[in-house]
């Protein structure tokens, strides 16, 4: 019987759907990887991956811990939230991946993120497995003391499941330096251990230079690699960015450093369009608005009269050369992709995780748009988290230049791996989605083979 007879993507996906009812984000993420990995296995005659059920095992998290998080708000009401940690796979290193605090967090969302993280971490070349966690808690509108009490309660359960050689969480949506500080303080208090159990810490207590900036910077370094590969440059490119959080703002900063222009930001209220472009002064103001005052992006249009605010809309109707979706999953649809392509967009690099839906990816593929999936383009954040772990283990702190130099090298390495596995033979173009999926998979799969059936 031919190897291809053993492989049936639709039967594999039926099983995934049966075992994970209603978990649409997770099923979507598994499908995207399986659709690339199965044909590759056949083409390269790697029957052992099928025999040992490698992809099926990666698509079944090692464990999913779910727990109650009680806390008291400022009015003395008792509030009850649900927290999770999904430990997807630790074949190549301790579980590693962020914590998300957002009302849209569900087990499906965290399973999809932990699954994706497994391939992303593998792609970085660093020894990190994949995990993700969070809670359906909305930090927006809460006081610092409320956020502190929630973080302490969350860590009072989470501490049993994490550790510097076990599982090392970091930030994600709704979890920044403030939340990491509160959680690290609580971990230290409970365990009496000062270890690198979280990354994204402040510099005073074991954080790394450039960690805050790394995801956004990394996206733009990856984008620059895509341009260089085609003997072009980012200079003069007009960028549309969604989101106005950590990833979006630092991506904007690096676009400006590399000579491009930035014309949009967004949040869940809508987007702002600035035809004159965001300059260094406007960017500094926006950072202060979002990071210090925790304000809404609509205020940008009040402050800068040339700019307009578009309530409840996403920025993909704005003419641009490059789109950087940096807010959340499924925020760029097939119709959005068609509009971008129609307006001349040539490149898309995902700062967020899975922001482009399956239709959107297909539209970009058909149009020949250079499309970098999040698991490759946004891996700079976790890569610098990996460097933070190394610095913590060695009890050292590297200089900013040193960390940024390593980030640049890591993003170039990821681009190279994507090209190696994603080059299209006839045209010489690159299918970055396939390249990232295959390169990320092979390293994890080979480690799993070495361990036998465990």
- Single residue of 83, 315, 351, 435 touching ligand NDP by CB under 6 A: 351
Measured between its terminal Cα atoms, the distance across the chain in Å is: 28
Q: What length does the chain have?
A: 454
In angstroms, give the least distance from the CB of 145 to ligand NDP.
20
Helix and strand numbers (H, E) in the chain are: 17, 12
Active site residue 375: no
Q: What is the nearest approach in angstroms of ligand NDP to the Cβ of residue 124? A: 11
For residues 210 and 402, give the distance between their C-alpha atoms in angstroms, rounded to a whole number: 10
Nearer to ligand NDP by Cβ, of 41 and 278: the residue is: 278
Query: What track of x and - describes contact with ligand NDP for positions 104 through 123 (by CB under 6 A)?
Result: x-------------------
Residue-by-residue DSSP string for 256-314: HHTT-EEEEEEETTEEEE-TT---HHHHHHHHIIIIIS---TTHHHHHSTT-EEEET--
Which three-class secondary structure state does DSSP give residue 167? strand
Which of 28, 195, 268, 406 touches ligand NDP (CB under 6 A)? 268
**244 counts as binding ligand NDP under rule CB under 6 A:** yes
Three-state secondary-structure class, residue 160? coil
133 binds ligand NDP (CB under 6 A): no
**CB nearer to ligand NDP: pick between 286 and 369:** 286
Q: Does 199 participate in binding ligand NDP (rule CB under 6 A)?
A: no
What x/- string results for residues 71 through 100 when contact with ligand NDP is judged by CB under 6 A? ---------------------------x--
Q: In terms of DSSP H, where are the helices of 325-399?
A: 334-342, 358-367, 374-377, 380-394
Give yes or no for residue 207 binding ligand NDP (CB under 6 A): no
Count the site residues for ligand NDP by CB under 6 A: 24
Beta carbons of 169 and 162 less than 8 angstroms apart: yes
Which CB sits closer to ligand NDP, 351 or 448? 351
- The DSSP symbol for 354 reads S
- Counting contacts by CB under 6 A, is residue 246 touching ligand NDP? yes
Answer yes or no whether residue 174 interacts with ligand NDP by CB under 6 A. Answer: yes
Q: Which region, judged by CB under 6 A, interacts with ligand NDP, from 7-15, 273-281, 321-329, 431-439?
A: 321-329
In contact, 231 and 265? CB cutoff 8 Å: no
Using CB under 6 A as the binding rule, whether residue 327 contacts ligand NDP is answered as yes
H helical segments located in 159-198: 177-191
State CA 411 to chain mean position distance.
14
d(CA 381, CA 97): 10
Pair of tokens at residue 122: 């593998």
Of 324, 322, 380, 311, whose CA–CA distance to 356 is shortest? 324
Residues 8-27 that bind ligand NDP (CB under 6 A): none
Candidates 60-68, 69-77, 141-149, 237-245: pick the segment binding ligand NDP (CB under 6 A).
Answer: 237-245
- The residue among 172 and 388 lying less far from ligand NDP, judged by its C-beta, is 172
Structure tokens at 195: 């270890």
Helices 380-394 and 211-229 meet at what angle, rounded to 10?
A: 130
Verify binding: residue 171, ligand NDP, rule CB under 6 A.
yes
Q: Is 378 in the site for ligand NDP (CB under 6 A)?
A: yes
Does residue 330 interact with ligand NDP by CB under 6 A?
no
DSSP string, 414-433: HHHHHHHHHB-TTT--B-HH
The catalytic position among 111, 132, 142, 254 is 132
* Dist. CA 207–CA 210, nearest whole Å: 9
Q: Tokens in use for 225?
A: 């690699």
Could you tell me which stretch among 39-47, 52-60, 252-260, 346-354 binds ligand NDP (CB under 6 A)?
A: 346-354
Binding status of residue 381 toward ligand NDP by CB under 6 A? yes
Helix (H, G, I), strand (E, B) or coil at 238: strand
Residue 94 vs 98, nearer CB to ligand NDP: 98
Contact between 356 and ligand NDP by CB under 6 A: the answer reads no
For ligand NDP, the closer of residues 212 and 431 by Cβ is: 212
Residue 245 in contact with ligand NDP, rule: CB under 6 A: yes
| Binding-site ranges for ligand NDP (CB under 6 A) | 98, 104, 171-174, 215, 243-248, 267-269, 326-328, 351-353, 378, 381
Residues serving a catalytic function are: 132
């Amino acid at each position: 019987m031919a190897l291809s007879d053993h492989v049936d993507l639709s039967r594999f996906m039926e099983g995934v759907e049966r075992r994970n009812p209603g978990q649409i984000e997770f099923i979507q993420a598994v499908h995207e990887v399986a659709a690339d990995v199965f044909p590759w296995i056949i083409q390269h005659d790697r029957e052992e991956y099928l025999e040992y059920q490698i992809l099926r095992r990666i698509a079944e998290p090692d464990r999913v811990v779910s727990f109650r998080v009680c806390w008291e708000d400022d009015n003395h009401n008792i509030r009850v939230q649900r927290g999770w940690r999904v430990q997807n796979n630790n074949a190549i290193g301790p579980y590693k991946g962020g914590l998300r605090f957002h009302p849209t967090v569900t087990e499906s969302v965290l399973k999809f993120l932990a699954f994706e993280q497994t391939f992303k971490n593998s792609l970085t070349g660093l020894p990190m497995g994949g995990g993700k966690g969070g809670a359906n808690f909305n930090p927006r509108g809460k006081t610092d003391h409320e956020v502190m009490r929630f973080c302490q309660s969350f860590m009072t359960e989470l501490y049993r499941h994490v550790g510097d050689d076990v599982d090392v969480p970091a930030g994600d949506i709704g979890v920044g330096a403030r939340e990491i500080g509160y959680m690290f303080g609580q971990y230290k208090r409970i365990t009496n251990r000062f270890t690198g159990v979280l990354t994204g810490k402040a510099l005073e207590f074991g954080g790394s230079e450039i960690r805050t900036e790394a995801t956004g910077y990394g996206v733009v370094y990856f984008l620059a690699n895509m341009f260089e590969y085609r003997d072009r440059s980012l200079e003069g490119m007009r960028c549309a960015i969604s989101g106005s959080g950590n990833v979006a703002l630092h991506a904007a900063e690096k676009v400006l450093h590399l000579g491009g222009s930035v014309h949009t930001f967004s949040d869940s209220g809508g987007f702002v369009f600035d035809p004159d472009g965001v300059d260094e002064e406007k960017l500094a103001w926006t950072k202060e608005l979002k990071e210090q005052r925790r304000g809404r992006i609509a205020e940008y249009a009040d402050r800068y009269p040339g700019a307009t605010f578009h309530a409840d809309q996403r920025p993909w109707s704005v003419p641009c050369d490059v789109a950087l979706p940096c807010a959340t999953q499924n925020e760029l649809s097939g119709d959005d992709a068609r509009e971008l392509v129609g307006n001349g967009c040539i490149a898309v690099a995902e700062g967020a995780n899975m922001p482009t839906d399956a239709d959107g990816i297909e539209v970009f593929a058909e149009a020949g748009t250079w499309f970098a999936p999040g698991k490759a383009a946004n891996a700079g954040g976790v890569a610098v988290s990996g460097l933070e772990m190394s610095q913590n283990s060695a009890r050292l702190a590297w200089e900013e230049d040193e960390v940024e130099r390593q980030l640049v090298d890591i993003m170039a390495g990821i681009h190279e791996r994507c090209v190696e596995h994603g080059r299209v033979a006839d045209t010489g173009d690159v299918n970055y989605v396939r390249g990232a999926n295959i390169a990320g998979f092979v390293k994890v799969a080979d480690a799993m083979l070495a361990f036998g059936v465990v």
